[in-house]
């Protein structure tokens, strides 16, 4: 098991909010990347997307399972311009004030010449019956090293003040394969 | 809201960057496309 968890960069959204959070010039010196996100959106739409390397195009696909407090469901897509569920759930504007969703994004082997997979585990916080928790598996069909990660709330939402995102680098231990 | 926060991981510097017209248009297009995929 990897025993390093090196913080690379962190950002906290200021009083003006922000449309996107983007990590650029990511060093290629780690094995895996992790992004930990605590976020709330101005939109009533409750997901957060990821775009790698500003690539756009149609190379993204995803699989999602989620619960909303009452029922479970799933969704999938392909040929997308971004990872629709890559950065997980984000607290919607309709949720309890001043609460934030928590998300872990794991990007293994981000410097490899293979397609890139992304695993996402997240939960929304809400003092009501409806609160989303979701797991997503996403794919970027591209062989390039990941050098930038952009997070964008769905529904043209913006990150509210005090939303945070931290990027970590993971280095596998010498005895791992 | 027309700006994004860009974090340069080589320096740690965080910069506010105005969205381009193209980026704003893409956000709107993505919002419409996404609405059909999951209703949360």
Q: Encode pLDDT of B21-38 as tens digits.
A: 888 888 888 777 766 666
Q: How would residue B40 be classed by pLDDT, with cut points 50, 70 and 90? A: very low
CB contact under 8 Å between B27 and A152, yes or no, is yes
How far is the C-alpha of B12 from the C-alpha of A123, rounded, in Å? 28
User: pTM here?
Assistant: 0.93
How far is the CA of A36 from the CAs of A105, A167, B21, B32, in angstroms?
6, 7, 29, 27
A11 touches chain B (CB under 8 A): yes
Which residue is associated with the tokens 């506010």? B16
Q: Residue A98: CB partners within 8 Å, gap ≥ 6?
A: none
Cite the beta strand spans of chain A per DSSP E. 6-12, 21-24, 32-39, 48-52, 60-67, 72-80, 101-107, 116-123, 133-140, 149-153, 164-170
Chain B residues with CB under 8 Å of A11 CB are 5, 7, 14
How far is the C-alpha of A76 from the C-alpha of A162, rounded, in Å? 31
Which residue is associated with the tokens 């945070």? A164
Task: Work out the mean pLDDT of chain A and round it to a whole number.
Answer: 93
Which residue is associated with the tokens 């098991």? A1
Chain A residues with CB under 8 Å of B1 CB are 16-19, 42, 158
- Which of B5, B34, B40 has the CB atom closest to A18's CB atom? B5
């Amino acid at each position: 098991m990897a025993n390093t968890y090196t913080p690379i960069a962190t950002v906290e959204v200021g009083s003006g909010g922000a449309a996107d959070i983007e990590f650029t010039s990511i060093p290629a010196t780690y094995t895996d990347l992790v992004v930990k996100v605590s976020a709330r959106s101005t939109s009533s739409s409750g997901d957060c997307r990821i775009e790698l390397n500003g690539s756009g195009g149609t190379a993204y696909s995803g699989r999602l399972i989620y619960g909303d407090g009452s029922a479970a469901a799933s969704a999938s897509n392909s040929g997308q311009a971004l990872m629709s569920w890559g950065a997980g759930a984000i607290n919607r504007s309709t949720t309890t004030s001043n609460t934030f969703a928590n998300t872990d994004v794991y990007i293994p082997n981000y410097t490899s010449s293979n397609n890139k997979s992304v695993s996402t585990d997240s939960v929304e916080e809400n003092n009501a019956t409806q609160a989303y928790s979701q797991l997503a598996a996403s794919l970027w069909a591209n062989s390039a090293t990941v050098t930038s990660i952009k997070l964008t709330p769905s529904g043209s939402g913006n990150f509210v003040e005090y939303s945070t995102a931290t990027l970590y680098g993971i280095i596998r231990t010498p005895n791992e394969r | 809201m027309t700006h994004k926060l860009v974090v340069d991981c080589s320096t740690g510097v965080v910069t506010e960057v105005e969205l381009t017209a193209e980026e704003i248009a893409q956000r709107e297009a993505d919002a419409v496309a996404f609405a059909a995929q999951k209703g949360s």
